[in-house]
Amino acid sequence: MESSLLLKELRTKEEILEGFSVMKHLRTHLDEQSFLELVLEAKQKEGYQLVALYDHNKMVAIIGFMPMITLYYGRFIWVCDLVTLPEERSKGYGEKLLTYVHQYAVENGYNIVSLSSGLQRVDAHRFYEEKMRYNKVSYVFLKKLPSH
């Protein structure tokens, strides 16, 4: 299996748009255009990176991450998005992508990788805690404000 796997950072508009075919399974509220605009802005302003995993030339999983600085964690990598095609889950693709981010973090001087996961994503939580050895350390709160 290993030799059929390829990790690739999605950089061009065309590559990013190809990533939407996988990302839409996680970010169901986005359409292609809003996805592209947000990725391009995040890449420019936040150092966001979008990396896809291909198996036999088919994109099967994708991860988005970026460096952040907070007083709580200091300098760390925030995993914004991680999704595998529904029919391709439980094949080790998420583990490969998170391991890639862990390696990226170490190589770039970060010793923390953090992420949030929706309360309803019980299988994902089991994966993060049991398989990837992440600790559950907080709740994330959200308040939507009126748009102007």
> Model confidence over 72-116: pLDDT tens digits?
999 999 999 999 999 999 999 999 999 999 999 999 999 999 999
- Mean pLDDT for the chain? 96
Report d(CA 116, CA 106) in Å as an integer: 20
Q: What are the extents of the domains in the chain?
A: 2-131
Residue type at position 3: S
Give me the CATH topology for the region 2-131: Aminopeptidase (3.40.630)
Query: Which position has the higher pLDDT, 139 or 10?
Result: 10
Strand partners of residue 6: 54
Report d(CA 106, CA 89) in Å as an integer: 27
Give the model's pLDDT for residue 98.
98
pLDDT band at 43 (very low <50, low <70, confident <90, very high): very high
User: Which region among 88-92, 99-103, 127-131, 138-142 has the lowest average model confidence (pLDDT)?
Assistant: 138-142
